[in-house]
């Protein structure tokens, strides 16, 4: 993994969030900062996947699959991989 330059960002958390953050950080033996960075990475990745899925679904609604093409691909797959 390539390390990038970091920018310090101030984030305000409530007491319950800090308490839980500290408990999890201690359990996984990581710093608060590292845990927050990993959580943000996971969240951003999930959002990106959701946006991609929505865009893909929109594209299919705008231009649905041609049933004849779908059947041709199924037939080709069946001939290439019998019993699959």
For the residues of 13-64, what is the DSSP string, one character each?
--HHHHHHHHHHHHHHT--HHHHHHHHHHHHHHHHHHHHHHHHHHHHHHHSP
Phi, psi of 7 (to 5 degrees): -120, 130
pLDDT for position 58: 81
How far apart CA 41 and CA 63 sit, in angstroms, is: 33
Q: What is the pTM of this model?
A: 0.59
Question: What is the tens place of the pLDDT at every residue in 49-67?
Answer: 988 888 888 887 787 788 8
């Amino acid at each position: 993994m390539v390390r990038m330059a970091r920018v310090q960002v101030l984030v305000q958390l409530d007491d319950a969030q800090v308490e839980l953050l500290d408990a999890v950080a201690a359990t996984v033996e990581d710093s608060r900062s590292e845990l927050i960075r990993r959580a943000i990475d996971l969240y951003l990745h999930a959002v990106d996947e959701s946006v991609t899925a929505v865009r893909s679904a929109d594209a299919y609604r705008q231009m649905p699959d041609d049933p004849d093409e779908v059947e041709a691909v199924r037939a080709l797959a069946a001939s290439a991989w019998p019993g699959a």
